[in-house]
Amino acid sequence: MTPGSIMPRREEFEENQYYHVYNRWLNKQKLFFCRKDFERFLRYITQQQEIYKDKVSIISYSVLPNHFHFVILNKETGFALSEFIWKITSSYGKYIWAKYWMQWNWKLFESRFKAKLLDSEEYLNQCIHYVEFNALKHWVVDDIDQRPFTSFDKAKSNTPYDEILTLDWEFS
């Protein structure tokens, strides 16, 4: 097992189905302390999205100081969605452990990620809205335009969903 992660969720997800995927840091603690931490997490998402592009696609996302949400289209039956999330969270766990190692134990997440099947178009649309406006719900921002770590900007500009995770800044 890698630092900061827990065993990957080994659940077979259905082909061409949408899922609301989310997880929270252990004890609701903050796990992003600066912009570079958020950017690093998004870099891992971007890298894995490229690797898994034929198997999963991120429709919307929101990364908050102590949890994250995704709406994901699972393109084929199997374990790819589980592997996709596990690779993102375990990579970020390694980064956090290396950067703040004296402050953390090996477990960063409360449990394995959760995934809810979005079994209707109405439920899918409600969930996308919920995910994109989650920063307002948790009072992280007063105006959603202030939140850079969501897919809201891409959605309001009618960016195609397969381009939704293209980042607007470079990483050092």
Tokens of 123: 């439920």
The torsion angle over the Cα atoms of residues 151, 156, 162 and 163, rounded to 10 degrees, is -80
pLDDT score for 171: 30
What is the Cα–Cα distance from 44 to 92, expressed in whole angstroms?
7
Cα–chain-centroid distance for residue 167? 14
Consecutive sets of 10 residues in the chain, 172 residues long: mean pLDDT of each?
50 91 84 86 91 93 87 93 92 85 65 90 88 61 51 48 38 29
pLDDT for 153 equals: 54
Domains present along the chain, CATH in parentheses: 17-161 (3.30.70.1290)
Tokens encoding 66 = 């102590």
What integer pLDDT is reported at residue 51 of this predicted model? Answer: 95
Q: Where are the alpha helices (DSSP H) in 1-151?
A: 35-51, 80-100, 121-132, 134-137
**Cβ-based burial of 110 (10 A; exposed 0-12, middle 13-18, buried ≥19):** middle
| Residue 14 pLDDT | 92
